[in-house]
Amino acid sequence: MLIPSIDLNAKIPNNVGLADDPKVRRALEHWQPRYLEWWRDMGPSDFSEREVYLRTAVSVEPGGWAHWDHVRMPDYRWGVFLTPRAQAATIHVGDETGAPAWDEVPGEHRAALRRIIVTQADTEPASVEQQRLLGRMAPSLYDMRNLFQVNVEEGRHLWAMVYLLHKHFGTDGRDEAEALLERRSGDPDHPRILGAFNQPCDHWLSFFCFTMFADRDGKFQLASLRESAFDPLARSCEFMLTEEAFHLFVGETGMERIIRRAAELAAQDPDGDVRRQGGIDFGTLQRAINYWFSYCLDLFGSEISNNAAGYFGAGLKGRFKEGERYDDHLALTRHYTLASVEHDRLVEREVPLRSAINEVLRDDYIHDCERAVRKWNHMLAELGSPQRLHLPNRRFHRHQGLHAGHCFNPEGELISPAQFAARRDEWLLSEADNAYLRSIMTPVREPGKMANWIAPPRRGIGGQDLGFEYVRG
Ligand code: BYC
Ligand code: FE
Ligand code: FE
């Protein structure tokens, strides 16, 4: 397979051969100013003139793909990169396992692939919109830089998907690319597609929960699409995953630093009152985890899904590490047992594995989240704190799938709507929590200094120490 070389000097840096593809190049060059307009209106507020120490993708080699420099965000070089393949890929999931992977979209899968790509694409600008105002209250220059790094990379992920739409979906693709710049997170008339991407994310505890839990959905959905029989999609997602790893680092270590600081402040206070010391207390942390984890579980779709069974059978999406972890890529004979409410009781039932394929991916996601929470609890034990954090049961506070429409407590027991309402503010971030959180988020702009509610990171980033001027001007 011929791999076009990387063209970094092009208007749109790319390794997809845009120089020799005038139709798609023109389409993307037409979309580019509209994207920049969207970035100006809906991207990070206030800081467009500042120089931010950013990593830019300049190659697709595992070791050296990134270049670091101070750049103004509007000048960021958003490019289109696919991971190259040494040899032609074969399909390794679903009914056509073993056949050659597709370089073009087969007619019978066009609608489904368009829907998957548009849904994936929509989350990228949505998250940038949700995080728009956070720069103003950044707890340090290090954190501000990380926020902006995440933002520009989500912008690049949008580029990756818009390229596929223009290249493979003709005028429909062009219309979808326009619509991606028109929907708005949280807009009642014109919302983003998926629930979590319409929730407000207006302080840094939500930002770290979001990068911990929502970007982790990104990791698993991208991993699922990396298995796709539609090879350009698989290769785009593979490269996006290299950037995604940093977003998860931001979320997981951000939470860890808040938790560490909470334990320190509790130890300093005679009554262990973290809020009195200006920090984020464990009750609030637990409520934020409950809130974002439950919204992010919704992102995996329904427990029993014909859509998902169809995607799997057609080879459009695979399981997490389908190629490495599974021998049976048909998943036609096995079953999956899940609990759901029937006649006011929780009962277990067996469903064909393909229909439960969303739940299989959700299992892997939950497992990964549990690992992080165990790590935080281990740190708390080491600090001598008696506090522990938990993930709520997967049925708690759900808005999609089998459990939506029923009420459960965080332990997963069925309760009445009145019982849920009575304890809602004990279990989920409340207006009062959010007001408190916003009140302590005073910006810290002095290099090396941290807001009181968060511990410093172990080290700086991009080869620089913590006192570096990550954002300047
Ligand atoms: N909110 O059969 P069902 C990321 C809809 S994150 C609202 O249950 P399916 C990122 C569904 O669309 C990764 N609606 O679900 C992270 C369908 O609607 P229609 C994003 C929802 O299709 C942070 C109906 O309910 N990537 O990259 O099996 C920062 C019934 O559908 C929701 C993807 O999601 C919801 N939560 O699975 C930046 C990958 N859930 O068609 C970026 C592409 C379901 O009946 N998406 N619905 O009107 C997919 O593969 C699938 O669409 C889903 C849903 C997994 C999302
Ligand atoms: Fe992304
Ligand atoms: Fe991300």
Q: For every one of its 473 residues, what pLDDT tens digit does the chain have, with 9 covering 90 and above?
A: 456 778 888 999 999 999 999 999 999 999 999 999 999 999 999 999 999 999 998 888 877 788 999 999 999 999 999 998 888 899 999 999 999 999 999 999 999 999 999 999 999 999 999 999 999 999 999 999 999 999 999 999 999 999 999 999 999 999 999 999 999 999 999 999 999 999 999 999 999 999 999 999 999 999 999 999 999 999 999 999 999 999 999 999 999 999 999 999 999 999 999 999 999 999 999 999 999 999 999 999 999 999 999 999 999 999 999 999 999 999 999 999 999 999 999 999 999 999 999 999 999 999 999 999 999 999 999 999 999 999 999 999 999 999 999 999 999 999 999 999 999 999 999 999 999 999 999 999 999 999 999 999 999 999 999 999 999 98
Question: Residue 9 has what pLDDT?
Answer: 85
Ligand 3 centre to CA of 248 (Å) is 7
> Which ligand is nearest to the Cα of residue 248, counting in written order?
3
Q: Which two tokens stand for residue 186?
A: 């949280």
Identify the residue whose C-alpha is closest to ligand 1 atom 48. 193
Ligand 2 centre to CA of 230 (Å) is 19
Smallest Cα–Cα separation from 181: which of 205, 158, 203, 200?
158
What phi and psi, each to the nearest 5 degrees, are found at residue 351?
A: -130, 155
Class (C level, CATH) for 18-472: mainly alpha
144 lines ligand 1 (CB under 6 A): no
Number of CB atoms found within 10 A of residue 21's CB: 16
Question: Residue 64 has what pLDDT?
Answer: 74
CA 391/CA 292 separation, integer angstroms: 10
Q: Which of 194, 364, 397 to mutate to test the pocket of ligand 1 (most atoms within 8 A of CB)?
A: 194
Q: Which two tokens stand for residue 128?
A: 């940038």
Question: Residue 1 has what pLDDT?
Answer: 46
CA 191/CA 169 separation, integer angstroms: 23
DSSP state of 81: -
Chain-centroid distance, C-alpha 293: 12
